[in-house]
Structure 1
Amino acid sequence: MREVVVAGVGMTPFGKWRERSTGSLVAEAVAEALEDARIEKPAEWRVVYYSRARNPRAGSTPCGTPVCPGSR
Protein backbone atom coordinates (compact mmCIF):
# COMPACT_ATOMS: atom_id res chain seq x y z
CA MET A 1 0.00 0.00 0.00
CA ARG A 2 1.11 3.55 -0.58
CA GLU A 3 1.10 6.40 1.87
CA VAL A 4 -1.75 8.88 1.58
CA VAL A 5 -2.56 11.97 3.60
CA VAL A 6 -5.83 13.71 4.30
CA ALA A 7 -4.43 17.21 4.67
CA GLY A 8 -7.63 19.24 4.67
CA VAL A 9 -11.37 18.93 4.43
CA GLY A 10 -14.15 21.09 3.06
CA MET A 11 -17.82 20.72 2.38
CA THR A 12 -20.86 22.61 1.20
CA PRO A 13 -24.03 22.84 3.28
CA PHE A 14 -26.49 19.98 2.85
CA GLY A 15 -29.56 20.86 0.87
CA LYS A 16 -31.18 20.94 -2.53
CA TRP A 17 -29.06 23.26 -4.65
CA ARG A 18 -31.01 23.18 -7.89
CA GLU A 19 -29.56 26.53 -8.98
CA ARG A 20 -25.96 25.32 -8.60
CA SER A 21 -24.00 22.83 -10.67
CA THR A 22 -22.09 19.91 -9.19
CA GLY A 23 -18.91 21.61 -10.41
CA SER A 24 -19.59 24.79 -8.45
CA LEU A 25 -20.31 22.81 -5.29
CA VAL A 26 -17.13 20.75 -5.76
CA ALA A 27 -15.06 23.90 -6.43
CA GLU A 28 -16.34 25.50 -3.22
CA ALA A 29 -15.55 22.42 -1.12
CA VAL A 30 -12.12 21.92 -2.74
CA ALA A 31 -11.17 25.56 -2.15
CA GLU A 32 -12.17 25.16 1.50
CA ALA A 33 -10.18 21.92 1.81
CA LEU A 34 -7.05 23.49 0.29
CA GLU A 35 -7.39 26.44 2.65
CA ASP A 36 -7.86 24.06 5.59
CA ALA A 37 -4.68 22.23 4.55
CA ARG A 38 -2.87 25.57 4.18
CA ILE A 39 -1.96 24.69 0.60
CA GLU A 40 -1.47 27.73 -1.60
CA LYS A 41 0.49 26.46 -4.60
CA PRO A 42 -0.74 23.75 -6.98
CA ALA A 43 2.71 22.13 -6.86
CA GLU A 44 2.11 21.23 -3.21
CA TRP A 45 -0.58 18.64 -3.97
CA ARG A 46 -1.14 15.83 -6.42
CA VAL A 47 -4.86 15.13 -6.51
CA VAL A 48 -8.06 16.08 -4.71
CA TYR A 49 -10.88 13.58 -4.20
CA TYR A 50 -14.49 14.46 -3.61
CA SER A 51 -17.51 12.41 -2.77
CA ARG A 52 -21.16 13.22 -2.95
CA ALA A 53 -24.30 11.91 -1.36
CA ARG A 54 -26.40 9.47 -3.27
CA ASN A 55 -29.51 10.62 -5.09
CA PRO A 56 -31.81 7.57 -4.87
CA ARG A 57 -34.28 9.02 -7.39
CA ALA A 58 -31.55 9.39 -9.99
CA GLY A 59 -30.22 5.90 -9.29
CA SER A 60 -26.73 7.22 -8.57
CA THR A 61 -24.42 5.82 -5.94
CA PRO A 62 -21.93 7.49 -3.61
CA CYS A 63 -18.58 7.99 -5.26
CA GLY A 64 -15.03 9.10 -4.60
CA THR A 65 -13.92 10.94 -7.69
CA PRO A 66 -10.49 12.42 -8.37
CA VAL A 67 -10.58 16.05 -9.49
CA CYS A 68 -8.14 18.87 -9.95
CA PRO A 69 -4.82 17.04 -10.42
CA GLY A 70 -1.91 19.10 -9.11
CA SER A 71 1.04 20.04 -11.25
CA ARG A 72 3.41 17.60 -9.57
Structure 2
Amino acid sequence: MSDLTIGMQLKKLRKQTGLSVKELADRAGVSQSYIYAIESGTRGANATKLDCIAQALGVPVADLYGVWSY
Protein backbone atom coordinates (compact mmCIF):
# COMPACT_ATOMS: atom_id res chain seq x y z
CA MET A 1 0.00 0.00 0.00
CA SER A 2 1.34 3.41 -0.87
CA ASP A 3 2.13 6.16 1.62
CA LEU A 4 -0.48 8.32 -0.09
CA THR A 5 -3.21 5.70 0.45
CA ILE A 6 -2.31 5.38 4.13
CA GLY A 7 -2.36 9.16 4.40
CA MET A 8 -5.78 9.40 2.81
CA GLN A 9 -7.11 6.75 5.18
CA LEU A 10 -5.55 8.54 8.15
CA LYS A 11 -7.17 11.83 7.16
CA LYS A 12 -10.54 10.13 6.69
CA LEU A 13 -10.39 8.46 10.11
CA ARG A 14 -9.17 11.65 11.79
CA LYS A 15 -12.08 13.61 10.37
CA GLN A 16 -14.55 10.88 11.31
CA THR A 17 -13.41 11.10 14.91
CA GLY A 18 -13.64 14.89 14.84
CA LEU A 19 -10.02 15.47 15.75
CA SER A 20 -7.89 18.29 14.44
CA VAL A 21 -4.33 17.56 13.34
CA LYS A 22 -3.09 19.18 16.56
CA GLU A 23 -5.38 17.09 18.75
CA LEU A 24 -4.36 13.86 17.03
CA ALA A 25 -0.68 14.75 17.17
CA ASP A 26 -0.93 15.55 20.88
CA ARG A 27 -2.77 12.30 21.64
CA ALA A 28 -0.37 10.21 19.57
CA GLY A 29 2.78 11.91 20.85
CA VAL A 30 3.98 13.02 17.43
CA SER A 31 4.35 16.42 15.80
CA GLN A 32 1.67 18.13 13.75
CA SER A 33 4.05 18.28 10.81
CA TYR A 34 4.44 14.50 11.00
CA ILE A 35 0.64 14.02 10.73
CA TYR A 36 0.47 16.51 7.83
CA ALA A 37 3.32 14.74 6.03
CA ILE A 38 1.66 11.34 6.36
CA GLU A 39 -1.71 12.68 5.24
CA SER A 40 -0.17 14.33 2.18
CA GLY A 41 1.82 11.20 1.30
CA THR A 42 5.16 13.00 1.43
CA ARG A 43 6.40 10.85 4.28
CA GLY A 44 5.91 7.26 5.28
CA ALA A 45 5.18 6.27 8.84
CA ASN A 46 6.98 3.67 10.85
CA ALA A 47 5.01 0.88 12.52
CA THR A 48 5.54 2.17 16.06
CA LYS A 49 4.21 5.64 15.27
CA LEU A 50 1.32 4.22 13.24
CA ASP A 51 0.38 2.15 16.27
CA CYS A 52 0.38 5.27 18.46
CA ILE A 53 -1.73 7.13 15.90
CA ALA A 54 -4.21 4.26 15.65
CA GLN A 55 -4.51 4.14 19.44
CA ALA A 56 -5.10 7.89 19.53
CA LEU A 57 -7.87 7.44 16.96
CA GLY A 58 -9.31 4.48 18.86
CA VAL A 59 -9.02 2.13 15.88
CA PRO A 60 -6.96 -0.97 15.08
CA VAL A 61 -3.79 -0.16 13.14
CA ALA A 62 -5.14 -2.26 10.25
CA ASP A 63 -7.76 0.46 9.70
CA LEU A 64 -4.98 2.85 8.68
CA TYR A 65 -4.17 0.46 5.86
CA GLY A 66 -7.82 0.18 4.88
CA VAL A 67 -7.78 -3.49 5.85
CA TRP A 68 -10.73 -5.07 7.54
CA SER A 69 -9.91 -6.23 11.06
CA TYR A 70 -11.89 -8.77 13.03
- Whether these two folds match at TM > 0.5 is no
Q: Which has the higher helix share?
A: 2
The structure with more radius of gyration: 1
Q: Which has the higher contact order (CA 8 A, sep 6+)?
A: 2
